[in-house]
Chains A and B, each alone.
Chain A
Amino acid sequence: DSGVTQTPKHLITATGQRVTLRCSPRSGDLSVYWYQQSLDQGLQFLIQYYNGEERAKGNILERFSAQQFPDLHSELNLSSLELGDSALYFCASRWGDRGTGELFFGEGSRLTVL
């Protein structure tokens, strides 16, 4: 158990809809990262937050947004969903900006868009 909790584990929705994925980082971890894993593809970095502030952005679509709350949990919002958004979305956390680079991943939220 990595200590990172993601909900929901599975989600099925229709095109055009909006969903919210939730992540609780390890206790004490200030950094949260979101990754997308599509079929036969590696992990694509979406966005990083550190202590409530956006720190780095990857190839995140404009239809997607995220935030990190004062209690350090994070949410990834996906709107106007398309079939191609079907993927496994991972959240990872890390203690801070410095030191070990190890990311601790949750078990992912599998999104299916029909």
Chain B
Amino acid sequence: GENVEQHPSTLSVQEGDSAVIKCTYSDSASNYFPWYKQELGKGPQLIIDIRSNVGEKKDQRIAVTLNKTAKHFSLHITETQPEDSAVYFCAASLSRSNDYKLSFGAGTTVTVRA
């Protein structure tokens, strides 16, 4: 099955600085790579996703890049704000018609210092 590794496990950044989280995956057939944000006491929530036919996607301060050859993808958060403090999970999946189960990384706890 798919194995997703995520680094770093914790990340502390100064407010206004950028944060980068990196993930690698094992199954070259995977074609869908979402990122989820989990705030304290809440369930994970999708913040951005990318499919294998594109190399980069942006949504305001958040961007994701994908390198299929190297089998890694990254989340970039620019101009970090205190509300960005949370646990972030990357995931990978082969999105066939009847199988969308996601394999998640272990998570990165991001702390934004004011």
- Interface residues of chain A, those whose CB is within 8 Å of chain B, are 2, 4, 31, 33, 35, 40-45, 48, 50, 55-56, 58, 90, 92, 94, 97-98, 101-103, 105-108
Contacts and interface: CB of A to CB of B under 8 A. Distances in A.
Given A31-B100, A101-B93, A102-B34, A42 B49 contact: no
How many of chain B's residues touch chain A, expressed as a range?
20 to 34
A35 B12 CA distance: 27
Given A31-B100, A42-B4, A45-B103, 19 more contacts: A33-B101, A35-B104, A41-B106, A42-B6, A42-B104, A43-B44, A48-B100, A48-B101, A50-B98, A55-B99, A56-B99, A90-B43, A90-B44, A92-B43, A97-B97, A98-B97, A101-B100, A102-B49, A105-B36
22 contacts: A40-B106, A42-B104, A42-B106, A43-B104, A45-B101, A45-B102, A45-B103, A55-B99, A56-B101, A58-B101, A94-B100, A97-B97, A101-B32, A101-B93, A101-B95, A102-B34, A103-B46, A103-B100, A105-B36, A105-B44, A105-B45, A107-B42
